[in-house]
Structure 1
């Protein structure tokens, strides 16, 4: 299958938008995928080829934010939610082939478990603690997705603290380094949740559609599915830049 490379170069896109961050989940067979969160390794390869041919390089979020602060252009954020075990065998080789890195948001309360929060399945294994260390050793950023993949806005203050503060300490134990980033399960956050993430010591928080929230603890992201090829990716990128314009946050042509 030939990748769609018909999109224009990144410099034609609207300026001064917040960083473009792509959201992936499982990289495996997308045949049984009721939630539309699975892409095949081959489709991931096509999508990264499309980015690279437009002069864009995928990086983890901490690296993306540092680069933007230094005025560097031509970067896009890559994130993989939930910490699926297939990241090591399916996603990592593709990322390496394209010279890309990513942030993998894991659930330290479910090491070696499965996506039990998805009632429709299918069940997919999650990274073990040893595999999380392997991800970090491969040069990927490891971030927290909370302990158990719960809607943080519905939790008590004590439960919320365990999901934010507790997961950070668990990942410090697993990898030897406290994570810089947090990803809100289901992409949902409110002010109380964002403040808990900030108070836990994270440098940023990733959402999907942060609503009225703004700043480094409400970074918007774009969901990517197996159906997304060049034209659809371009449409999503343009939509992101129109919805999330941030005067002074970028320069004309800054795709990072």
Structure 2
């Protein structure tokens, strides 16, 4: 009798697990009082994978559906909102905060938040090259947002555009501190983008074990070359 290869046994067990998970009944539909809660979604991915492009289109689509949407760019190069504003970048929170501080003035909402085609948008920004940690800039930006009443603005959705380097504490902030409910990963079929996607998912899993509540909503596969690597991941 020929022995069955281990890989076939593992594959059969994996398929069995998938069928078992698929057979679990979903939770019942909530029938109680509906309460509005801002959905904060952080989008991660390696540089150049198309996060900002995806977010600009997603935020615009939501706004056209009547949703109140805030798009926050958390990338130090501050390019998240440029597509919405015809190639022009918004003044960043960090830059504006520094100028206001030197002038002895307080930062107001209108100094850092801008609107076009129904989408509210702002950029956190970051330090100059070689002069600070990008993650620390993000932490500073969110501290300022908290002071400005970030959670009281009544948005339906807040979309955060993050680099996939969650090894850095600043970029992993939404996951580590439950500052969002869901994470979406933008990737393609190449090894580098899937490496970043795996890091993000590992970070979510790690903090959930510590009592965190952030979950992975799914993956946007950009630049699909048909190999199916991202889908397999």
TM-score under structure 1 normalisation?
0.32
Q: Relative contact order: is structure 1 or structure 2 higher (C-alpha 8 Å, sep ≥ 6)?
A: 1
Structure exhibiting the larger radius of gyration computed from Cα positions: 2
